[in-house]
Structure 1
Amino acid sequence: MLALARACAEGTVDLADPRAAAHLQPPSLAVAAAADVLAGVFNASVDTWDSGPYAVEIERRLVKGVCGLVGYGPGSGGVLTSGGSASNLQALLVARDAAAAKSRDVRTAGLAGFGRRPLVFCSELAHFSVARACAVLGLGEGAVRAVPVDGHHRMRPGALDAALRRADPDAWLPVAVVATAGTTDYGSVDPLPEVAAVAREHGVRLHVDAAYGCGALFSDRLRPLLEGIEEADTVTLDLHKTAWQPAAASLLLARDAADFAPVTGGRVAYLDPDDDGEAGYDGLLGLSLQTTRRADALKVAATFLALGTDGIGAMLEACHDLARHAERAVAAHPRLSLTAGATLSTVVFRYAARDPAASDRVNGALRRRLLRTGTALVGRTEAPGGDGRPAVHLKLTLLNPRARTADVDGLLDAVVRAGRAVEEGSTG
């Protein structure tokens, strides 16, 4: 066991190192990690009440508390899932069945004879899990309609409205609008009040993917970014991103808890018999697409007890401040070019190669050089270049609240040194 632990430590990225800034993968809080060990030791499964009654009640209370933070009322509900992709999948399952229920019972009859072709509208920068969910649900990736974004990388409500108006109601069935609160590349937040108004006018369900942006719920300063989130029918929140939880700790919340009933099916006699439920001994099987499900709410509850929501909010604010510093430092550096500044904690930029034609090669190679030498871990994405075509860009995703501005400066200096080394002929 000791040898395995040492080998894993030697071959694993230290997310607590301020030079690890590539992904939406924060260092875990110690209190959360300790509680996660307890969950593993107790090994309760929250699908049934008798497997872990305390764990079941903890999840229920956690869900109600976070529903309140979103702005949902007493009729709301939710469930913990394995991640944002799983939460988005279940949200679109709810939306699919709700849309189809106007003409047929998809759960029983399947998609055969669905009638009209389904449509799901989302920003062109929405997470890939939206298209993947449509494929899994039988809607097809072709059901996705990408809505253009504005200069701040946010969905354009006018373009959404126009797309919905173009959908012939005799041929197409709008299933859902998916807004993004924290895009993976930019951290941008779609204008939720305006998007909600468009969805409401057209009678289409609204899902908000706030897997990244959910941490703003805990911050007085950043909470205005999520104005309008309470208008969503369902919301995805990833607490293993901007609440510093060990994975997995995602939430799917619904403004109306009854949304969960049609998609999870009936009761199962050996797990949740009717008379047990009537007596108050119900587990959480009826809310989830999973059966066996560990007590992930335990670590989240431990974190909130130790730090409070204000403490989590202060951590995101610290990361936001670091990102704003990085934005200014990139903009001021002669060898770096800023692509997108900080909305949450992400900054996108590019190393300015001496030969513009070699920029993609140099930016890709310098990132690999930093990784290979153990110097730093920075992100990579594609964004439109000067000619409008996709180009290789670098990305800092700053989720270490203990990092300092000097750490960010050192990270950017390392990027520049690596870029120069690649240009001087070193292999990438």
Structure 2
Amino acid sequence: MSRLNPILAGSAQSTEAYRQAIAQSSEAVAQWLQQPEMYQGKTVAELRERITLDFNPQGLGNQAAIERAVEYFLKDSLAVHHPQCVAHLHCPSLVVSQAAEVLINATNQSMDSWDQSPSATIIEMKLIEWLRTQVGYQPGDAGVFTSGGTQSNLMGLMLARDAFFARQGHSVQQDGLVGNLKKIRVLCSEHAHFSVQKNMALLGLGYQSVTLVKTDRFSRMDLNDLQEKLAQADANGEQILAIVATAGTTDAGAIDPLRAIAELAAERQIWVHVDAAWGGALLLSEKYRDYLDGLELVDSITLDFHKQFFQTISCGAFLLKEARHYELMRYQAAYLNSEFDEAQGVPNLVSKSLQTTRRFDALKLWMGLEALGQKQYAEIIDHGVTLAQEVAQYVSEQPALELVMQPQLASVLFRYRTQQLSDAGDTALALFNQKIGDVLLESGRANVGVTEADGVTCLKLTLLNPTVTLEDIKVLLALVEKTAEQIAA
């Protein structure tokens, strides 16, 4: 055991082993960051063949294990910091976020109880208080850090469900679901995140409970259709459990009319949850904060910090307007959040989370805010939105490129389109643009998204990297056109 120094502890031997392992890993990352390729270009089959699990009964030691990880994982990883990696809501990370990971991993705090994470618990609570202030909520600490948008959306929908039944004098927590569940509906836009359906299935109400509201030409929820869907529900004897609005749809970056939705829901006492996993970054914006007008009116909010807050995965949060609704999910475990603890004012965050053991991901956001300050943070968030507008203008000036939709956040939807392709028909045009995306990734030169906008297959640039410039994107678009010409030939 002494040869491997397997456990991180305070002994001189362990500390030295830790220093060596971190130094070796850090140097490997520094070298990897310098590689010119976005991706080494191995196929699924090649990676299956290359990667083997051949564990040595005696162990290889830390150095050899790290060397193998560098060879088989790091070298074949996607370079998300590369200026031509723009397919997804997958950001490069702040340097200070990487430093935070060192502290998080070494201390290995668990956020379920105070006696496992004392200082971490207070830091997370204070960050939740700060985030609530940014939203415009009343002072308080009702909220918790999560693994990301899907979990935060699940919490919003679960509390909406339980509050809905509580108003009818029924506890889902104690007695489960009752009544005609086929008559319960959740409304969201047709461009809302798939986790709405996924989570409603997990909550026992199924995909059938989700009614999709039409969207306008910018992929935003159509208020007229929302009112029609509410009227239809009344006519059918259905009850609305919640309305899920989106602040930043995955493709278009569309932000639903939050204030109007919240005011309409308030008239009917309907819970509104906002999935602001992407658009929530505008809370710090100096130029575009008004896009989130009305956010302070809703019942619960999803935020992600591993998108346009540039934190390492995973880092998200759930905010709850009224702390009293947390009572709907409270569970007392004597060994974690005893009544005695609570009587003494000891904060045990397990009561606020769907998770028990949970990482101290809040440290990354705290260190990011401290390192950058709000002004610099605002600048790098705003950069992507402004860049998308500049790229859209440039795309619209290129004869062989067509802008599919005006950008709203930091994404640009476009397609390669010539007269010859248009004459070949919609199916051929769609397949051709799909092929462009596939060939670029296979070559390792670029990762451009392929998606659909109102039935139009298009290419997507998600411009989350604050180091990327318009000139970088011009290079990428030239590569798109060159690839298209090669395919056509």
Question: 254, 261, 283: which one pairs with 2:327?
Answer: 261
Q: 1:184 is matched by which residue type in structure 2?
A: T
Residue 7 of structure 1 deviates from its aligned partner by 2.9
Q: 1:162 is matched by which residue type in structure 2?
A: E
Residue 158 (str. 1) matches residue 228 (str. 2): no
CA distance in 1, matches of 2:235, 2:267: 14
**Residue aligning to 1:387:** none
Residue 318 of structure 1 deviates from its aligned partner by 1.2
Q: 1:304 is matched by which residue type in structure 2?
A: L
CA distance in 1, matches of 2:291, 2:192: 17
Residue 193 of structure 1 deviates from its aligned partner by 1.0
Residue 383 of structure 1 deviates from its aligned partner by 2.0
Residue 380 of structure 1 deviates from its aligned partner by 1.0
**Residue aligning to 1:321:** 386
Report SS of the residue matched to 1:216.
helix
Counting only pairs closer than 5 Å after superposition, residues 5-44 of structure 1 correspond to structure 2 as: 5-44=70-109
Question: 358, 375, 397: which one pairs with 1:310?
Answer: 375
Question: 206, 211, 236: which one pairs with 2:277?
Answer: 211
Aligned residues of 1:83 and 1:238 also touching (Cα < 8 A): yes
Report SS of the residue matched to 2:471.
helix
Q: TM-score, normalised by structure 2?
A: 0.83
Q: 1:331 is matched by which residue type in structure 2?
A: S
CA distance in 1, matches of 2:182, 2:444: 53
CA distance in 2, matches of 1:322, 1:200: 37
CA distance in 2, matches of 1:383, 1:28: 28
Counting only pairs closer than 5 Å after superposition, residues 108-257 of structure 1 correspond to structure 2 as: 108-114=174-180, 117-168=183-234, 171-257=237-323
Residue 282 of structure 1 deviates from its aligned partner by 2.5
Question: 259, 263, 282: which one pairs with 2:347?
Answer: 282
**Residue aligning to 1:419:** 484
Report SS of the residue matched to 1:174.
strand
What 5-or-longer segments of structure 2 have no aligned partner? 1-65
**Residue aligning to 2:407:** 342
Select the structure of larger CA radius of gyration: 2
CA distance in 2, matches of 1:272, 1:101: 24
CA RMSD after TM alignment: 1.4
Structure 1 residues 115 and 236: alpha-carbon distance in aligned structure 2, compared to 1, 3 A threshold: closer
CA distance in 1, matches of 2:79, 2:476: 15
Question: What are the superposed Cα offsets for residues 55-90 of structure 1, whole Å, 9 maximum, x if unpaired?
Answer: 111100110000100010114510011110100011
Q: 2:449 is matched by which residue type in structure 1?
A: G
Q: 1:179 is matched by which residue type in structure 2?
A: A
Report SS of the residue matched to 2:430.
helix
Q: Which runs of 4+ in 1 moved over 4 A?
A: none
Out of 73-82 and 199-208, give the one that drifted further. Answer: 73-82
Question: What are the superposed Cα offsets for residues 3-49 of structure 1, whole Å, 9 maximum, x if unpaired?
Answer: 31243222111111110001001001010111012101100001010
CA distance in 1, matches of 2:236, 2:445: 58
CA distance in 1, matches of 2:323, 2:234: 31
The alignment covers a number of residue pairs equal to 418
Question: 462, 470, 475: which one pairs with 1:405?
Answer: 470
Residue 158 of structure 1 deviates from its aligned partner by 2.0
Identity of aligned residues (%): 38
CA distance in 2, matches of 1:201, 1:276: 40
Residue 368 of structure 1 deviates from its aligned partner by 0.9
Out of 318-327 and 225-234, give the one that drifted further. Answer: 318-327
Residue 156 of structure 1 deviates from its aligned partner by 1.3
Structure 1 residues 325 and 13: alpha-carbon distance in aligned structure 2, compared to 1, 3 A threshold: same
Residue 379 (str. 1) matches residue 449 (str. 2): yes
Counting only pairs closer than 5 Å after superposition, residues 41-52 of structure 1 correspond to structure 2 as: 41-52=106-117
Aligned residues of 1:363 and 1:394 also touching (Cα < 8 A): yes
Aligned residues of 2:286 and 2:382 also touching (Cα < 8 A): no
Report SS of the residue matched to 1:377.
coil
Residue 57 (str. 1) matches residue 127 (str. 2): no
Q: 2:234 is matched by which residue type in structure 1?
A: D
CA distance in 1, matches of 2:181, 2:403: 48
What 5-or-longer segments of structure 1 have no aligned partner? 385-389
Structure 1 residues 115 and 417: alpha-carbon distance in aligned structure 2, compared to 1, 3 A threshold: closer
CA distance in 2, matches of 1:6, 1:321: 38
